Amino acid sequence: MKISKKFTDPNLTNEQRDQIMEDLLKSKFDSQLRDKYKTILSKEHGLSRSDGSTVATQSAAESESKNTKGKLYLVIGVVLALVALSLALFFSKGNGTEAVQTNKAQMYLAELSIDNKNVTRNSNDQRAPALIAATKAFNDGNYAEAIKQYALVDQLDNENLFFRSVANMKLGKYAEAENGFKVLQDQIKNGEAFKSETHVYLLLCLKLQNKDAEAASLAAAFKAGSWEAKEAQKLMK
């Protein structure tokens, strides 16, 4: 039986439940840390899993040989860097498709204006003060405060999860926003509020992170002529 299915068993003892929680969270957060550490090791220490060349295991002879060649490589490196810089400048002014695409997504995000008309109706609902504050902050454009207020709520419904994801997107936290929209994509049923927006904003998050293949695949699934498809065209063409 899958561990997630087991977790929903109402007959679990507290010890069994705690063990499952430990296992689940260990897998989740270890995996996130692994990815984070791998990125830092690769970017800041030039150390990757597949290539051991940067690890200090070279022999002294190899090191000496490298020193001798160092100056030559330096000159070649400088020349190549200048060429690359020139090319980058040329393409950024001309046909830099990726840069244009990202700018297009960023412009779309900058122009994106959406109000949270969420009304918390139940006065006995303990979440109400935080949700009201979050809604106000969101509508004032104070997205950091909105996120802070959402954090005070134990559980978010789809509508508030949607606005938290938009706030994350507005703050440039695209990965968090993407995660939220992906959850909503499954949770919101067809015909319910924010379904179409969720699709388009997920696409926007993907574009903003240059996840072009995933974005293209998502956009291809939009119904021809739909609002989603039209918005996607603005982002993808």
Partner 1 sequence: MDTTTTEIMRKKNFNLTEDEFDTLCDQLKNGDESLFEKIFLAHFADCISFLKSKFRMQHEEAYDVTMETLLDFRVAIIRDKISYGNIRFLFTRMASQKYIRSQRKEIVTQEIHSDTDILMGGDEPAVDADDLIYLDKAWAKLGENCQQLLKSFYYDKVKLNEIAAYMEKSAPAARKQKERCLNLLRNNFIQILNH
What residues line the site for partner 1 (CB under 8 A)? 2-5, 7-8, 17-18, 21-31, 33-34, 36-38, 40-41, 44-45, 47, 49-52, 54-57, 150-156, 161, 179-180, 182-183, 186-187
Residue 207 backbone dihedrals phi, psi, to 5 degrees = -65, -40
Residue placing its CB nearer to partner 1 in the complex, 3 or 220: 3
Residue placing its CB nearer to partner 1 in the complex, 49 or 71: 49
Helix (H) or strand (E) holding 136: helix 128-139
Shortest distance (Å) from residue 194 CB to partner 1: 14
- Rounded to whole angstroms, the Cα distance separating 190 from 145 reads 31
Burial of 235 (0-12, 13-18, 19+ CB in 10 A): buried
Shortest distance (Å) from residue 57 CB to partner 1: 5
Instruction: Say if residues 183 and 164 touch (Cβ distance below 8 Å).
Output: no
Shortest distance (Å) from residue 140 CB to partner 1: 20
Residue placing its CB nearer to partner 1 in the complex, 10 or 94: 10
Residue placing its CB nearer to partner 1 in the complex, 71 or 189: 189
Shortest distance (Å) from residue 156 CB to partner 1: 6
Shortest distance (Å) from residue 235 CB to partner 1: 24
Angle between helices 97-111 and 227-236 (to 10 degrees): 130
Residue placing its CB nearer to partner 1 in the complex, 44 or 111: 44
DSSP 64-122: HHHHHHHHHHHHHHHHHHHHHHHHHHHHHHTT-HHHHHHHHHHHHHHH-----------
